[in-house]
């Protein structure tokens, strides 16, 4: 018989009842160091005092009023995001897919309103992940996710990642923009090179296209900058973010330059829940932490510590790992053995991680983790790798 909770996930037989910082406590009494953060989302870790207090306090006052009224918490959050980024205006929604979908709508609408109704196509990239709505499945272009869901939404042209020539060849009279992740998270911690990202910006300027960055996973401080594209020294025309923005509370955002945002006039786009007082209260606390002086520099420093530990792991266990990659606190181990097997060995040692494309184990701890947490994680990964050695020697013997 089908479970009441629809079985669209192969869930691990683990349930957590509470957490503290980077640690999660399971109902069976075990505790785990969380290097998955609920898929790069619990940016402030678990049981964060200010975040929990602010949510509780706001919940007692008013949670939801709809966007038919002014929402001071949303106005404040939008202003802070504008002050901290390229953007002039922000639209709030509830998830990454929704933010990306809105971003693509903005790109299309801006083309339409500027006399280019024929331009509606958007270039996306192999290995991308943009979400599970019908249009974002088309943007993602992964056969596995598209199969059986009817005609693929039209308007997306997918080309190889980090290949500027392929992008320039794909630009046609119907192209309105480009949507890209600065660092592909689901795709396997694949970084867009600085030259590639700068080349995309230049191509957009040359052909009059809009550059949209999907910062759902690599944004909100994950890489050590507020947004991943900052490392390339570029600014997009529009960006989508979500995951880490609410620290675990669902909220997404579309950030846009005025030249794009101005075409989304009253009634052209909307949401019931998006940007409600409760969600924006949570995100404002996340920004309190992220934008505090020195916090992002600490993410970068901790990222270097993690990278050094991963490099050593790869060097010491070549039968298990092929390479390490990533930036800040979004890193990955490309495995020789099946990534799922390595992930399970890590769990057995008390470390949670998330698998990603290209046979990678993704490591995305809460941004607030401590040096002691990092040291402990490194030990757990070493023990986990040692656990994999018998299986690695079997692979080698084949
Ligand atoms: C997770 C993710 C999404 C989808 O976000 P949801 O909140 O699951 O809809 C989109 N883009 C990227 C880069 C992501 O990592």
* Binding site membership of 215 for ligand 1 (Cβ less than 6 Å): no
* Binding site membership of 100 for ligand 1 (Cβ less than 6 Å): yes
What's the pLDDT score for residue 392?
A: 81
Q: What spacing in Å lies between the alpha carbon of 305 and ligand 1's midpoint?
A: 27
Q: What spacing in Å lies between the alpha carbon of 95 and ligand 1's midpoint?
A: 7
What's the pLDDT score for residue 84?
A: 98
Residues 213/246, Cβ–Cβ less than 8 Å: no
Question: What is the C-alpha to C-alpha distance for residues 341 and 338, in angstroms, rounded to an integer?
Answer: 5
Whole-Å CA distances, 76 to 79, 194, 275, 368: 5, 32, 11, 24
What's the pLDDT score for residue 244?
A: 98
* Token output for 31: 């505790």
Q: What spacing in Å lies between the alpha carbon of 1 and ligand 1's midpoint?
A: 31
* Binding site membership of 183 for ligand 1 (Cβ less than 6 Å): no
Whole-Å CA distances, 307 to 230, 248, 310, 328, 349: 20, 25, 5, 8, 20
Number of the ligand 1 atom closest to the C-alpha atom of 132? 9
> What's this model's pTM, rounded to 2 decimal places?
0.98
Q: Provide CATH 3.40.640.10 ranges for the chain.
A: 50-290
* Binding site membership of 129 for ligand 1 (Cβ less than 6 Å): yes
The class of domain 50-290 in CATH terms is alpha beta
- Please report how the helices 277-290 and 49-61 are oriented relative to each other, as an axis angle in degrees rounded to 10: 160
Question: What would the DSSP string read from start to end of 309-341?
Answer: HHHHHHHH-TTTEEEEEEETTEEEEEESS-HHH
For residue 363, the Cα-to-chain-centroid distance in whole angstroms is 12
* Binding site membership of 241 for ligand 1 (Cβ less than 6 Å): no
* Token output for 392: 């690695």
Q: Provide CATH 3.90.1150.10 ranges for the chain.
A: 16-34+293-397
Q: Which has the closest alpha carbon to 334: 305, 363, 309, 306?
A: 363
Given ligand 1 and candidates 43, 216, 239, which is best to mutate, with the most ligand atoms within 8 Å of its CB? 216
What's the pLDDT score for residue 209?
A: 98
Helical spans, DSSP H, in the chain: 37-40, 49-61, 72-83, 96-113, 134-140, 143-146, 164-170, 194-207, 258-261, 277-290, 295-316, 339-348, 371-397
Question: What is the C-alpha to C-alpha distance for residues 290 and 179, in angstroms, rounded to an integer?
Answer: 25
Which one of 1.10.20.10, 3.30.360.10, 1.10.3720.10, 3.90.1150.10 gives the CATH number of domain 16-34+293-397?
3.90.1150.10
Residues 6+ apart with CB under 8 A from 4: none
Whole-Å CA distances, 32 to 203, 376, 390: 46, 11, 24
Given ligand 1 and candidates 135, 186, 219, which is best to mutate, with the most ligand atoms within 8 Å of its CB? 186
Given ligand 1 and candidates 41, 130, 184, 357, which is best to mutate, with the most ligand atoms within 8 Å of its CB? 130
Q: How many CA atoms lie within 13 A of 302 on its CB side?
A: 27
Q: What does pLDDT average to in each consecutive run of 10 residues of the chain (398 residues)?
A: 96 97 97 98 98 98 98 98 98 98 98 98 98 98 95 98 98 98 98 98 98 98 98 98 98 98 96 98 98 98 98 98 98 98 98 98 98 98 96 76
Q: How does strand 31-34 pair with strand 238-241? A: unpaired
What's the pLDDT score for residue 398?
A: 64
Number of the ligand 1 atom closest to the C-alpha atom of 185? 15
């Amino acid at each position: 018989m089908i479970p009441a909770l629809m079985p669209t996930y192969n869930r691990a037989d683990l349930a957590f009842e509470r957490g503290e910082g980077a640690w999660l406590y399971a109902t069976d009494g075990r505790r785990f160091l969380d290097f998955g953060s609920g898929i790069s989302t619990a940016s402030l870790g678990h049981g964060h005092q200010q975040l929990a207090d602010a949510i509780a306090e706001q919940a007692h006052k008013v949670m939801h009023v709809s966007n038919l009224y002014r929402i001071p918490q949303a106005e404040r959050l939008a202003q802070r995001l504008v002050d901290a980024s390229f953007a002039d205006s922000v639209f709030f929604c509830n998830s990454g897919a929704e933010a990306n979908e809105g971003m693509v709508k903005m790109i299309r609408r801006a083309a339409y309103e500027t006399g280019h109704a024929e331009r509606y196509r958007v270039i996306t990239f192999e290995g991308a992940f943009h979400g599970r709505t019908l249009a974002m499945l088309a943007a993602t272009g992964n056969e596995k996710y598209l199969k059986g869901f009817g005609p693929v939404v039209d308007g997306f042209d997918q080309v190889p990642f980090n290949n500027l020539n392929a992008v320039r060849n794909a630009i046609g009279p119907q192209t309105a923009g480009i949507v890209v992740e600065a660092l592909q998270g689901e795709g396997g911690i694949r970084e867009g090179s600085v030259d590639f990202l700068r080349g995309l910006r230049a191509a957009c300027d040359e052909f009059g296209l809009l550059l949209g960055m999907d910062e759902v996973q690599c944004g909100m401080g994950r890489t050590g900058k507020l947004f991943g594209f900052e490392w390339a020294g570029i600014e997009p025309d529009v960006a989508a973010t979500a995951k880490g923005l609410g620290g675990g509370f669902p909220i997404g955002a579309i950030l846009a330059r005025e030249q794009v945002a101005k075409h989304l006039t009253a009634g052209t786009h909307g949401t019931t829940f998006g940007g409600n007082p409760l969600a924006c209260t949570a995100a404002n606390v996340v920004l309190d932490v992220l934008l505090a002086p020195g916090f992002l520099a600490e993410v970068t420093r901790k990222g270097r510590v993690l990278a050094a530990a991963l490099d050593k792991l790869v060097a010491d266990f070549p039968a298990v790992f092929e390479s390490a990659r990533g930036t800040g606190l979004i890193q990955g181990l490309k495995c020789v053995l099946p990534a799922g097997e390595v992930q399970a060995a890590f769990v057995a040692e008390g470390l949670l991680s998330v698998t990603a494309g290209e046979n990678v184990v993704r490591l995305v701890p809460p941004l607030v983790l401590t040096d002691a947490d990092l040291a402990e994680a490194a030990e757990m990964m070493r023990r986990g790798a040692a656990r994999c050695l018998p299986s690695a020697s079997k692979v080698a013997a084949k």
